[in-house]
Every structure is written in C-alpha cells, then in structure tokens.
Chains A and B, each alone.
Chain A
Amino acid sequence: MAQIRGYRRPEPGTQPPHLHPRYVSSIKRAPTKPLVAVPQTLSEITGPVFGPEVVQPKACDLTSQHSGSPQGQRIIVSGRVLDEDHRPLPNTLIEIWQANAAGRYLHKTDQHLAPLDPNFTGCGHTVTDSAGHYRFISIRPGAYPWRNHDNAWRPAHIHFSLFGPAFATRLVTQMYFPGDALLPFDPIFNCVADEKARERLISLFDWETTIPETALGYKFDIILSGRDSTPMES
C-alpha cells in the first residue's frame, strides 16, 4: 500500500464555517482555535461499510409505519447520490428524519404547541441502487418555531445523513422545498456565501415522480466529496 488516493477538499464558499454568529447555538459550540490541517491517511479514506442486513426494505416509506395514514400532503422524495464528478454512488445508506405535517418532532425536547401525529414517527432509511438512485415516501413536514431570534421559524426541511464510501465523505445535510417563504430568513440555510450551493439544498418539484391523485414528487440529488485525481505517497 505505497499510495493512497484521497478525497477532495471543499470548494471555497460551499461548506459552512463552524462559527456562524447568526446561528446563535454556534457561538458557544464552534471551536475557537484553527483546525489543524493534516493529510488524509488510510483511516480517512476507509469508513464504515453497512451490509444489506441493516436495511429494512419498508423503511423508505414513512407513511406506512403505523396502523393509520399520517396527516399531511403525501410526497415522494427521490434523487441520486453522486460524487463531485457525477459518478453514481451505489449501495449508499441514507438515514432521514423530519417533523410531522404540523411541524412537530416526535422528541421529548420538542414541546411546541403543534400536535403530535400518532401515525407518524418521522424516521426512515434506504440504500441507493446500482445507479445511485434512492426514493422515500413521506409527508411534507411543517415549518416550526425555534428560539434562535425573535419570531424565528425554520423552513420546512428533511434531515439527510450519509456515510458514502469513506470517513472523508461523511455528510449530514437538510433538504428544503422550493418556494418556501422562510428560506431567506433562515440562518442555517444561509450559512454559506455561494448562492448556487444554497440552491442545491432546495429540492425541485418534479412531475415525472408525482403520482396522480396520490403524491407530489420532489427531486433532490446529493453530492459527496470526489476523489483526488493524483494519489499521494502513503
């Protein structure tokens, strides 16, 4: 193992800083000393591998986990997981979680006024197919208030968590919905300078995956760090 091929560093402006003062929680939690730049090693270009035994085929449908149907607008969220060179990433685990249609999370620390839905947990997972495709069935989450600033509301979003092929490609992100009036005011969505990077967090309404009389389709592609073209000595 004389040489290893690393993963690319982020394009400037496309990844958030740790300290983003408009996001008030970052002030006491972001490191204050500079990160120590280090080369990637075998430890970073490898990462957890999840076999088919961790995937429950029905877990991609968040609307059928209980005896009844959840409240809200039914949606199909689908897309591809690709690397920065648009190579599809097959067999990639995706974990998601979200609020219910009223904007309430099934979590002990979410005590806001909106009702829980006995037919909605808000948790799902799936794995990409051989061409990097994934598909979830869910309901459109509601916006919800938070205490970041006066009259603060989070735009509707779904949390996505992916490992990808290596420790270096680990990504947790949020998918938003097109035309959400709260987006311009949200400090989490607006954490990067690059407008195109922000736009890529917004799913696209999609007729092709919309199911007549059943569910609206949204497309959301997820890009994980690509590989360096030249190997480094290791």
Chain B
Amino acid sequence: MKTPATTSQTVGPFFSIGLDRLRASNLAGPGVPGERLTIEGKVFDGDGQPVPDAMIEIWQANARGKYAHPEDTQEKPLEPGFSGYGRVPTDDNGQFRFTTIKPGPVPGPAGKPQAPHLVLSIFMRGLLKRLVTRIYFPGEAANNSDLLLSLVEPARRTTLIAKKVQERDAVLQWNVVLQGSEETVFFDC
C-alpha cells in the first residue's frame, strides 16, 4: 500500500515564531577548514519589490566535498563543527546574508564530479511549496562541465552563479529574482 506524500502548504507570514530557533547564518564555526565566504543578496518579487518575509535554507558539503550524512559513503573526512546546514530569513529590505566555506566537488551523475555548489530551499508567504535552486561559484572551471548547469539554457545559467563584489574580498552576491527577464532558475528535482 502506498500513500502519496502530504500536500505542501505555505509557511505563511509568521514562520519566524516556529523556525527562528534553528536559524543558522554562520555555517562554519571557528577552525573549520576551507575558503571562508559571505554570500549576500536580496529576494525580489514580480514587481521588483524586495520580499521581507522569505526564508532561505542551505545544504552543502564540506571543503573536501563530503556531506555530513550517512548516505555519503565517500572516503573523505568529516569536519568537526561543520554540519552543512543553514537557515536565514530576509530582513525588512529583502536582504539575507550567511557565512560559510566553499564546498569541495561532490560526485554527480554518470560518475562525473559536480562543480562546487550549495543547494537551497526558498520559502515565503505566497509559495504553496518551496522553490529549489543552487548557488555555484564564479571563475570555477568545473562550472563548464557541470551536468545540472548544462541542463539550463546558457542565457539563464548566470542566475545560478554568485558574483564577486568589487573591493570586498570573501564576499559574493547572489539575488533571487522570482519573476521576469532576470528570473532565477528553479529546479524540479
């Protein structure tokens, strides 16, 4: 006997009551090895207005490309103090920010490694189910051979790649555009 998965419902406008406790904007505590980065950006709706009541969840591998999860059976070390989980809300200006380390490459389809990436779930009032997307890293040669990026039409791939910020080392910018010509790529997976 099978029962389909429970229907998703929106987080609504008041999710901070229940979800703030596990807020995590610094994914990598002191001493966690890897290239430390702050990723910041804004979420915009179809009118180009910032979304002040969104929540972004992050899941990623450590700097060696190992997930802290029992089904990652790669012979690579886990890093103490790094679980790979993050959760950040947007503020009144639609802005979010988190600090982490750049993940290493993880295995992908057909035995080929994937380019370093974060996977994200985006929740907000108005979304009956989450949006799923990814953040890739700028100037990464592996982006050219990443299978998932290759499934996205070339003109839209840039929406998935964070941008360097002039004169700010270790800061990357990545916006979420919900609608329009610059619309972020969202995945069905």
Partner of B179 from A28, A99, A122, A201 at Cβ < 8 Å: A28
Q: CB of B1 within 8 A of chain A?
A: yes
Q: Do B189 and A173 have beta carbons less than 8 Å apart?
A: no
Chain B residues near A226: list those with CB within 8 A: 2, 5
Verify if B170 is at the interface (C-beta below 8 Å from A).
Answer: no
**B36 within 8 A of partner (CB):** no
Whether, in the assembled complex, A113 has its beta carbon less than 8 Å from a beta carbon of chain B, the answer is no
- For the complex, count residues of B whose C-beta is within 8 A of A: 75
Q: Is A58 an interface residue (CB 8 A)?
A: no
Known: A167-B59, A171-B8. A33 touches B178 (CB 8 A): no
B22 in complex: contacting residue of A45, A54, A96, A107, CB < 8 Å: A54
Q: How many whole Å from B179's CB to the nearest CB in chain A?
A: 5
CA distance A10 to B8 in the complex (A): 11
Give min CB distance, B52 to chain A, whole Å: 9
Determine if B31 is an interface residue (Cβ-Cβ < 8 Å). Answer: no
Bound together, the chains give a CA A44 to CA B67 distance in angstroms of: 11
Assess whether B8 is in contact with A37, with CB atoms less than 8 Å apart.
Answer: no
A27 touches B46 (CB 8 A): yes
Give the residues in chain B near A17, CB-CB below 8 Å. 128
Cα-based distance from A100 to B129 in the complex (angstroms): 25
B142 contacts A by Cβ under 8 Å? no
Tell whether, in the assembled complex, residue B186 and residue A36 are in contact, meaning their CB atoms are under 8 Å apart: yes
> Top 10 nearest A-B pairs by Cβ distance?
A97-B18, A25-B126, A29-B126, A46-B69, A48-B85, A16-B128, A35-B188, A28-B46, A11-B4, A174-B9
Q: Interface of B with A (CB < 8 Å)?
A: 1-19, 21-22, 45-47, 49, 51, 53, 57, 59, 61, 67-74, 83-85, 106-111, 114, 117, 119, 121, 123-131, 147-148, 151-152, 156, 178-180, 183-189
